[in-house]
């Protein structure tokens, strides 16, 4: 393990709380609040600039056959704006892919590469596409698209009709909904905001939301033990260098 410790010392990856420009790339409206709402509130409270990129329109999120998809998509946009406001997120970018749709992840990647080049985040957070029992294709495709975008944005000839020099800003990727967390963020002071933000997604209330909130609190208590506090969120931080041809990535 000395070898790994030496590697991480040399990479000098900041603590998550020290990142000042963060991009959160989510498959659906509500994923970011549920998985890392406390972390987002904590980062924005400490002065970080946070942008949300939401890949799909959320139009599958209902059991009501009489609610048209377009109407639900509009409603979910409004709910997401309110939730983002609670957490201090000022900017949102919607890619507009169809929720549960038959799109290729490369299409998402192509948008993300250029958004990353323009926005210049230091940390990108997204769903962990390696979660073995995740069967929602949007969660797998978006996590994969974001990871590949983080790998490729620095190459000027990739997805760019007019290649230009690219500033390499991203130091790490942070995975949420991850089976292998390595970072536990204390959210005791921000938990009320997280719950308030989740509840802004009114169209998703009922139908298991109570169970979800109970599950989240138990899980955050469990992770809190790793962080020395009552509630913590679990994230897997990977240095960008570890995203390709780095066999020790599993061990981070």
When the beta carbons of 62 and 240 are compared against Zn ion, the nearer one is: 62
Contact between 28 and Zn ion per CB under 5 A:
yes
Using CB under 5 A as the binding rule, whether residue 27 contacts Zn ion is answered as yes
CA distance between the termini of the chain = 10
33 binds Zn ion (CB under 5 A): no
What is the crossing angle of helices 69-87 and 31-45, to 10°? 30
How far, in Å, CA of 30 to CA of 58, rounded?
9
Of the pair 79, 159, the CB lying nearest Zn ion is at 79
Closest separation in Å from C-beta 171 to Zn ion: 26
Among 13, 16, 25, 31, binds Zn ion (CB under 5 A): 31
Q: In angstroms, rounded to a whole number, what is the distance separating the alpha carbons of residues 118 and 242?
A: 23
Per CB under 5 A, which of residues 121..180 are in contact with Zn ion? none
x/- track of binding to Zn ion for residues 73-112 (CB under 5 A):
----------------------------------------
The window from 6-14, 19-27, 44-52, 81-89 that contacts Zn ion (CB under 5 A) reads 19-27
69/120 with CB nearer Zn ion: 69
The one segment of 25-33, 34-42, 71-79, 89-97 that binds Zn ion by CB under 5 A: 25-33
Largest CA distance in the chain: 60
Q: Do the beta carbons of residue 98 and residue 57 sit within 8 Å?
A: yes
Rg of the chain (C-alpha set): 18
Residues 6+ apart with CB under 8 A from 198: 30, 33, 34, 37, 83, 213
> CB 28 → Zn ion: shortest distance, Å?
4
Do 45 and 194 touch, CB atoms closer than 8 A?
A: no
Nearer to Zn ion, 33 or 49 (CB): 33
Residues that bind Zn ion (CB under 5 A): 27-28, 31
């Amino acid at each position: 393990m000395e070898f790994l410790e030496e590697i991480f010392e040399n990479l000098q990856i900041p603590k998550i709380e020290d990142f000042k420009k963060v991009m959160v790339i989510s498959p659906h409206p509500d994923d970011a609040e549920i998985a890392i709402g406390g972390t987002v509130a904590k980062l924005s409270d400490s002065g970080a600039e946070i942008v949300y990129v939401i890949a799909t329109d959320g139009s599958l999120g209902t059991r009501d056959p009489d609610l048209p998809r377009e109407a639900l998509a509009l409603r979910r946009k409004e709910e997401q704006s309110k939730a983002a406001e609670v957490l201090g997120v000022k900017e949102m970018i919607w890619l507009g892919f169809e929720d549960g749709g038959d799109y290729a992840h490369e299409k998402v990647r192509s948008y993300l590469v250029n958004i990353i080049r323009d926005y210049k985040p230091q940390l990108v957070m997204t769903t962990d596409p390696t979660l073995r029992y995740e069967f929602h294709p949007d969660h797998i495709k978006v996590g994969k698209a974001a990871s590949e975008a983080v790998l490729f944005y620095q190459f000027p000839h990739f997805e760019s009709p007019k290649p230009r020099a690219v500033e390499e800003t991203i130091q790490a990727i942070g995975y949420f909904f991850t089976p292998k967390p390595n970072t536990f963020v204390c959210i005791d002071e921000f938990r009320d905001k997280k719950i308030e933000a989740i509840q802004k997604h009114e169209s998703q209330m009922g139908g298991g939301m109570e169970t979800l909130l109970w599950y989240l609190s138990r899980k955050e208590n469990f992770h809190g033990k790793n962080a020395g506090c009552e509630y913590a969120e679990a994230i897997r931080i990977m240095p960008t260098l570890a995203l390709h041809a780095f066999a020790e990535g599993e061990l981070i």
